[in-house]
Amino acid sequence: MAKVCYSCGKKPDFGNARSHSLRATRRRRDPNLQKVRIQEGPTMRREWVCTSCLKGFKVKKASIGARSGV
């Protein structure tokens, strides 16, 4: 599965890298995704979330003591 933000759906952007002579080569710009443990109802899961969603509190990170087995 591709690395896509769980919250906002941000994914890699493709385009051209241009040299001084304007020769085009393909490039890929990846979003800053972090694999975090999030709380979704009573369950916890690990998902890829972009840092802008983490800073904006768009996902609820699971607390450390909230493991299902503890």
Question: Contact 4/10 with Cβ under 8 angstroms?
Answer: yes
Question: Contact 48/1 with Cβ under 8 angstroms?
Answer: no
Which tokens belong to 18? 């241009």
Q: Kindly report, residue by residue over 15-37, the tens digit of the pLDDT.
A: 999 999 999 999 999 999 999 99
- What's the structural domain count of the chain? 1
Which tokens belong to 48? 């890829």
Which tokens belong to 14? 């493709």
3: CATH:
2.30.170.40
| Residue 41: predicted pLDDT | 85
| Residue 66: predicted pLDDT | 54
CB count in 10 Å sphere of residue 28? 9
User: What is the rounded average pLDDT of the residues 39-45?
Assistant: 89
Which tokens belong to 9? 């759906």
Would you say the pTM of this structure is higher than 0.85?
no
| Residue 25: predicted pLDDT | 98
| Residue 42: predicted pLDDT | 87
Which tokens belong to 64? 């450390």
Domain that holds residue 59: 1-70
